[in-house]
Structure 1
């Protein structure tokens, strides 16, 4: 194993070297308690409110410039910053020299109590930088989608969205990334991170961040009991909310091979297990536009920037939204242990509640998604109490191929209906090989009762889940029937509201 060393990253224009702090110290704790940067606030400590939003910068693949993404500092562990740059609200500008984002928030009265404002400013800075680099301006709805991970409890979002539009009217003033890039280039020569320090309870704890998939495979095989951590968007809550000890940790986020998304000549996708949720969903949606709404409603942008699709799949939550989409697409999961590899259909990976087919020392290497066959109809539906950034009560991704009006290859995957995400086998059988008409949709809805016995919990009752899931099958038929199919936006509450406004 490598020699232990400090965590090294760029902050406030300087190279920082941190040692001695517990490995599960969050970036937020470091900022407020050790770096004395109190502009970043703590709200929920679980990645929901966005008060702690910061920007994390990494060199692009060519090492030429710095890519910035907004993430939640409260669920990012400090070792995850190794080799990266950290920017906070203190980096934007002082009271005597506000930058366009800050000035727009002032001019549009986008702040009252001010607690959430630093987080909004950081998210808006990320938006500003992205669009200035591309020479574009976001539509108001795009701004709303981008700030979905930041909550305001007193101002309301209208003046904040006004500020998001106003910030592009001032003379352009982007962050100077070249000094950051130069500093990050010096960190590329550092060896893979091996960090050791007492845990929060005083027990010895080690963190490893391998740089290659072979190094990761060797570490995982040698340390099968170590905790694999990708984006910590779930594991971070174990520490913050449940006060759990993680033991030794292996981070996957520095393995470039696992962050790649490759398209095959046949249109298939291979999504590395450490590719971010944002990048993975963008690639999926580019090929299957019907998944776009599911993408936008899958957590918030800061969570999607930090979390990974591979981690979401490996976690195996029965209410996760990634698995239904991938199972409906016929995805396979690539597993590795040492030098050995195997591939399974994703639906075979889940065995029981929070139990999967991983063997000791094995890890998820990639997700393989085949191209859709001609004639395939697919829709993704999410039902939740809140539209943005909420956990599904029911998630359904329904796919079938139509051949001369006959349903073939139905793949109906549901989350929230059982102890695991799974296909509705009897429901699929009820439609396969028969004309795709209203009678087939009704038969499928009835068969659904034989596939699932949903439970009642805080998100929904069993009766609601059963009825809503059956209704989604009917909606799927309405949107894919041969005669006068219903446009997807016709069932959108937002489209209905906009229509009412236009009529008024």
Structure 2
């Protein structure tokens, strides 16, 4: 494998498949500015930038080095804190952190600087016309500080974005030429990087024992937290067909390797309620790596996306190493705790759902102890559609789905039935639906929430969505009356 490390072209012959970027940087290259904090992608102390050449430009993303395989840097530009200064002049992120007293012990500081440097590069690339406080806070949402406090760090970010400095572009012509020269470099033998579904299926046939990895934001925890080696991996992130977004015959088709970041952009112009969920999934570093398919196939009962997809009536396409496909409703994919319908030699290729479902009324709620970068105690996705009938607006379609309430993500069909066909303002139907939720769900209690709390929250979220719909419809009707 070959990649550009800061300013130098590097070749590595046989790194172990499960070697992380963090371990490689600190132990092999002695670049110890990248810190090890949590080894699970939670603290951001190990943040680095990975740049990928596309149409003559390098696009950079912040990632957690502790849960990113070093082989994922193949054919990319890896930037660490040591390379930010240019000609003896500090990078704007470094200078503003210094000027605004954004560091005390300094352990977390390199990670914060790299997150801000990533935002700085996005500004130079024209991804934002001008960053504001919200974007600065979002950029550092995956970085934790135990002693400085965040005000001076946010101040540093706000100063930095006022005047992005072209002298500190990371994608200089030299780096572009270096990446172009290694564009066809092979991956390590134990870390396959197929570029098409055909290559992926060939890899699955030849290496049935290999683990599939897309973002690796959960898979790599087996290595860093459980000390379990992973000898061979097949990386899905480069498979072009798995990044497609298409709408055909009223159905939206999403490739399984789409990152949370790509999905956030896709939904931003279609549903603010759905798009807002992606702002709550992990951190910017996690969203740059984590994928739609990984969140589904991981089969965690507290995964963020399955309840939303259940509410959208999603189906999935599974493919095998011969290229054969089969489709099934997402509801039938989960067989039990961490058990799915995936068979040996299969992979999750695509997720699809009716396009019109995105236009319905949605409320997607994530309840967690922290707003940023935290695991859900309860996830709720509620979709409601109303239609004018003889006696007023009635619910013509109802979907109520939860995560964190059972061994698998669930739909509460009994509660849906209580609302379906009722008038949208019928409180007796709402109370019947709430009772059905209580009857159907038997959540467990754990360190995140008690069983009673989870059940109460689930009912309250359904009640909140019902009130929000009626409030929204009331405002709409009032506006129509005003302009009649």
1:166 aligns with 2:155: no
Q: Secondary structure of the equivalent of 2:327?
A: strand
- Residue by residue over 1:365-387, the C-alpha shift from the partner in whole angstroms, topping out at 9 and shown as x without a partner, is 11113213597211100111111
Q: Which residue of 1 aligns with 2:273?
A: 290
Instruction: Give, in angstroms, the shift of residue 214 of structure 1.
Output: 0.7
Q: Deviations over 1:308-335 (max 9, x none)?
A: 1111111110000011111111221111
Secondary structure of 1:67's aligned partner:
strand
In structure 2, the CA distance between the partners of 1:485 and 1:103, relative to structure 1 (3 Å rule), is farther
Superposition deviation, residue 293 in structure 1 = 2.8
Q: Describe the shift of the 1:247–1:375 C-alpha distance in structure 2 as closer, same or farther (beyond 3 A).
A: closer
Which of the residues 63, 66, 83 maps onto 2:58?
66
Aligned counterpart for 1:116 among listed residues 92, 95, 108: 108
CA contact 1:381–1:396 (8 Å) conserved in 2: yes
Unaligned runs of 5+ in 2: 477-484
CA distance in 2, matches of 1:95, 1:194: 34
- 1:498 is aligned to none
1:358-413 CA-to-partner distances (Å, cap 9, x unmatched) read 12111011111321359721110011111111111100000021112111221111
For 1:325, which of 305, 308, 316 is the aligned residue? Answer: 308
By how many angstroms is 1:300 displaced? 0.5
Find the partner of 1:240 among 224, 244, 247.
224
CA spacing shift, 1:110–1:265, aligned 2, 3 Å: farther
Check 1:250–1:424 CA distance in 2 against 1; reply closer, same or farther (3 A cut): same
What is the DSSP-based 3-state SS (H/G/I as helix, E as strand, rest coil) of the residue aligned with 1:168? helix
Q: Deviations over 1:122-175 (max 9, x none)?
A: 110111111232262222122112211011111111111111111134462331
**2:356 corresponds to:** 372
Taking the aligned partners of 1:30 and 1:286, their CA distance within structure 2 comes to 40
| CA pair 263-68 structure 1, distance change in 2 beyond 3 A | farther
| 1:226 corresponds to | 210
Distance 2:247 2:85 in 1: 41
Question: What is the correspondence of 1:177-326 to structure 2 with a 5 Å cutoff?
Answer: 177=171, 178-191=173-186, 193-195=187-189, 206-264=190-248, 266=250, 268-326=251-309
Maintained 8 Å contact 1:480/1:486: no
Deviations 1:50-90 (A, max 9, x none): 00000000012xx3100000000000111111111100111
Distance 2:39 2:352 in 1: 34
1:32 to 26, 29, 34: 26
Alignment partners' CA distance in 1, 2:252 and 2:154:
35
Change (3 A) 1:74 1:485: farther
Match of 1:154 among 142, 147, 150: 147
Aligned CA distance change for structure 1 residues 290 and 486 (closer, same or farther; 3 Å) = farther
Do the aligned partners of 1:479 and 1:485 also contact (CA within 8 Å) in 2? no
Secondary structure of the corresponding residue to residue 406 of structure 1: strand
Q: 1:430 is matched with which residue?
A: 418
CA distance in 2, matches of 1:163, 1:299: 23
Q: Is the 8 A contact 1:478 1:485 kept in 2?
A: no
Question: Which residue is equivalent to 1:77?
Answer: 69
TM-score, length basis structure 1? 0.89
Residue in 1 aligned with 2:454?
465
Distance 1:374 1:153 in 2: 40
Q: CA deviation at 1:292?
A: 3.0
CA apart distance, 1:264: 4.1
1:449 alignment partner, one of 429, 438, 441: 438
Quickly say closer, same or farther: Cα 1:410–1:160, change in 2 above 3 A. same
- Local SS of the residue matching 1:403: strand
Matches of 1:313 and 1:293 in 2, distance apart?
A: 19
Deviation at 1:262, TM superposition (A): 3.0
1:108–1:163 CA contact under 8 A, matched in 2: yes
Equivalence for 1:499: none
Tell me what 2:366 maps to.
382
- Residue number in structure 2 paired with 1:351: 335
2:466 alignment counterpart: 477
Asked whether the equivalents of residues 311 and 381 of structure 2 are also in contact (C-alpha less than 8 Å), the reply is yes
Q: TM-score, with normalisation over the residues of structure 2?
A: 0.92
Corresponding residue SS for 1:347: helix
Give the conservation status (yes or no) of the 8 Å contact 2:14–2:188. Answer: no
Q: Measured at CA, do residues 389 and 374 of structure 1 come closer, stay the same or move farther in structure 2, by a change above 3 Å?
A: closer
- Quick one: structure 1 residues 378 and 72, their matched pair in 2 at CA, closer, same or farther if it must change by over 3 Å? same
Instruction: Give, in angstroms, the shift of residue 261 of structure 1.
Output: 2.6
Distance across 2 between alignment mates of 1:247 and 1:425: 43
Q: Where in structure 2 are the equivalents of 1:385-424 lying within 5 Å?
A: 385-404=369-388, 405-424=393-412
Structure 1: distance between partners of 2:208 and 2:397? 38
Aligned-residue RMSD, C-alpha: 1.9
Query: Are the counterparts in 2 of residues 396 and 415 from structure 1 also a CA contact under 8 Å?
Result: yes
How many residues align structurally?
467
Question: Displacement of 1:226 after TM fit?
Answer: 1.8
Q: Which moved further from structure 2: 222-231 or 352-361?
A: 222-231
Find the counterpart in structure 2 of residue 100 from structure 1: 92
Instruction: Look up the SS of the partner of 2:269 in the other structure.
Output: helix
Q: Is the 8 A contact 2:120 2:164 kept in 1?
A: no
